Amino acid sequence: MNCHEFERILDAYVDDELDPADAAAAADHIEGCAACRRRLASRESLGRLVRSVPYHAAPARLRTAIASAPRRSRITPTALAAAAVVLLAATLGGAAGFRARQTSQATAAVAENVVNQHVSALMRDRLFDVRSSNEHTVKPWYQGKLDFSPPVADLTSADFPLIGGRLDSVAGRPAAALVYQRREHVINVFVLPTAGRAAIVDERSIRGFQERHWTQKDLSLWAVSDLNDRELHDFVRAFESATH
Decide: 225 and 232 in contact? Cβ < 8 Å. yes
Specify the pTM.
Answer: 0.59
Q: Which of 197, 186, 180 is nearest to 239 (CA)?
A: 180
Helix ranges (DSSP H) in the chain: 3-8, 10-14, 20-32, 34-52, 60-68, 77-123, 135-141, 229-243
90-142 pLDDT, tens digit each: 555 555 454 545 556 677 788 888 899 999 998 887 889 999 999 999 999 99
Residue-range domains of the chain with CATH = 3-50 (no CATH), 103-243 (3.40.1000)
Q: Which of 38-42, 53-57, 95-99, 219-223 has the highest mean pLDDT?
A: 219-223
How open is the CA angle 111-115-128, to the nearest 5 degrees?
Answer: 125
Q: Count the Cβ atoms, other than its own, within 10 Å of residue 111.
A: 20
